[in-house]
Structure 1
Amino acid sequence: MALHKAIIFDIGGVCVGSPFQGIAKYEREYNLPKNYISIAIERSGENGAFQRLERGELTIPEFYEIFGKELSDPINKEYYLQYLQSRRNSNIPSLPDKITIDGRELFRTMMSETAKIDPIVVNAIKKLRANNKFKIAALTNNFQLPTQYQEEIEILGGSPSIEFKELFDEYIESSVIGLRKPDQKIFLYSCEKLGVAPNEAIFLDDIGMNLKAARHLGMRTIKVNLGKSKDAIKELEDLVGIPLLDDSKSNSAKL
């Protein structure tokens, strides 16, 4: 077994709140069935608006328009029914004749959740940095907003603070390098930046397909389930042999 030399953290849903919480909030507000929007985003594939935004291929106005059109397409009803059937769910909800989703409103709701830092995870990162035994990286699917969209930047919660980014030896962003998870190339890129082999890295993420891609390369993975970051950090603690949960709710997690 390779000695772990690096720990790589996803951002949304791991270090901060998950945009999936925002999606769930939007679905409740507009009486859409659970996971309807998430399935529509997933089925749009690598050329979908959300995926293209995270590779830096769309401006935010372009994204809002395309995102809304994609999610409002009637084909998504078929995708959702296929999803329920694949899970052998016999409770098929009644879907409206027409579903219209406002791309801007949805995305703002999603991003509002990512402004909330998880103190358990952030304190664990600080303890790892203090130990000075591991390289620490962030690996995030994100988007960039030019300064001319200042109003939108403020509404969406702005960029991560300098203090937050300084928690990591490397802060790797999909929109900067033009690759996004679960493309295996982004994991190889991250390991190269850290100077480690994939089997020397531990990767934490909240999305199964990202973890699967990392595992395929030999990385050790930890799933961070919604609202259960303490369980994930306990698993990481056991792997690295360093106490990571002490004082996890202290004010030291604030940035």
Structure 2
Amino acid sequence: MAIEAVIWDFGGVFPSSPFEAFARHEAAIGAPKDHIRRVNATNPDTNAWALFERNEIDTAGFDALFLEESTALGFPIRGADVLPLISGVVRPRMVEALKLCKQQFKVGCITNNMVSHHSPGADGVQKPRGVMGEIMPLFDHVIESSKAGVRKPDPRIYQMMCEALAVAPAACVYLDDLGVNCKPAAQLGMKAIKVVDVDQTLAELSAATGLDFPATEAAQ
């Protein structure tokens, strides 16, 4: 089936992955390596991260619950100290690739996010700001976990995007920096691309779409 849509994750795709910031913070406070990722991977459907991304707890609740969970796993870290680490550095070549895809295909974004992420301590729906505010208007449709009440890797969120774009899963390319989120997309029939680095991603996206993406290292 011919490609009709390219669907993107946001964090770790357009801005760099927060995992680097997690590692720096862990080193700075003497926490075990990958401790934050371990907390996030434990009880992934019901932990503080999952509840916050579905907007089932507020910022204060995330702060307290993440502290409780991290303490139980051996090293206390407040949720409030983790939130500022999420934002990465924008990847200009990925933004340009999105713009090129938009000229030929429908484009959508599925993001696991937090309502109050861009305004720590202020709970309630916030308008996208900064990098997110510049990129989000480029998409034909955006699904945010904090507003939809469902988050990746739940297959329903991918199906919701296909319905919104009026495309079959087999006619979609899906990009995400997490393999666990690529798996359900692939199982639905999408061409899934795990984002490891910019060069690899654009090479695979070019193969899937037939588009030619400029290789400009200086722009990365």
Q: One fold, TM greater than 0.5?
A: yes
Which residue matches 1:172? 143
Aligned partners of 2:50 and 2:15: how far apart in 1? 20
Alignment equivalent of 2:153, drawn from 176, 182, 194: 182
Structure 2 vs 1, CA of residues 199 and 148 (structure 1 numbering), >3 Å: closer, same or farther? closer
Gaps of at least 5 residues in structure 1 are 78-98
The structural deviation recorded for 1:238 is 1.7
With normalisation by structure 2, the TM-score equals 0.89
The residue that corresponds to 1:70 in the other structure is 69
Deviation of 1:115 (Å): 4.4
Residue deviations 1:58-104, cap 9 Å, x none?
A: 1111111111111111xx25xxxxxxxxxxxxxxxxxxxxx221221
SS at match of 1:222: strand
Give the superposed CA RMSD. Answer: 2.5
Q: State the AA in 1 paired with 2:82.
A: L
What does residue 231 of structure 1 align with?
A: 200
Written as runs of structure 1 = structure 2, the 5 A alignment for 1:2-41 is 2-41=1-40
Q: For residue 45 of structure 2, give the secondary structure of its aligned residue in structure 1.
A: helix
Q: How does 1:149-160 map to 2 (within 5 A)?
A: 149-150=121-122, 158=129
Please list the CA deviations of residues 143-184 of structure 1 after superposition, one character each: whole Å capped at 9, or x if unmatched: 102979459x99xx9565543212111111111111100000
Larger radius of gyration: 1
Q: CA 1:28–1:149 in 2, change beyond 3 Å: closer, same or farther?
A: closer
Counterpart amino acid of 1:208? Answer: G
SS in 1 for 2:104: coil
What pairs up with 1:169-248 in 2 under 5 angstroms? 169-225=140-196, 228-247=197-216
Equivalent-residue separation in structure 1 for 2:35 and 2:88 (angstroms):
24
Matched AA of 2:147 = V
Residues in 2 aligned to 1:105 and 1:148: alpha-carbon distance in whole angstroms: 11
Q: Kindly indicate whether residue 72 of structure 2 is the aligned counterpart of residue 126 of structure 1.
A: no
Report if aligned partners of 1:119, 1:248 keep a CA contact under 8 Å in 2: no
Contact 2:59–2:120 (Cα < 8 Å) also in 1: no
Percent sequence identity over aligned pairs: 31
* Alpha-carbon spacing, 1:198–1:145, altered in 2? closer, same or farther (3 Å): same
2:120 and 2:63 mapped to 1: Cα distance?
A: 16
- Partners of 1:184 and 1:214 within 8 A in 2: yes
2:192 counterpart SS class: strand
Structure 2 CA distance, aligned partners of 1:142 and 1:206? 14
Matches of 1:247 and 1:10, distance apart in 2: 22
* Residue ranges of structure 2 left out of the alignment (5+ in a row): none
Contact 2:17/2:88 (CA < 8 Å) preserved in 1?
A: no
Q: CA separation of 1:13/1:58 partners in 2, compared to 1, >3 Å: closer, same or farther?
A: same
CA distance in 1, matches of 2:68, 2:175: 32
In 2: Cα distance, 1:231 partner to 1:148 partner:
34
- Answer yes or no: is the 8 Å Cα contact 1:68–1:101 preserved in 2: yes
TM-score, normalised to structure 1, is: 0.77
Rounded to whole Å, the distance in 2 between the matches of 1:60 and 1:223 is: 30
Q: Decide whether the 8 Å contact of 1:123 with 1:248 is kept in 2.
A: no
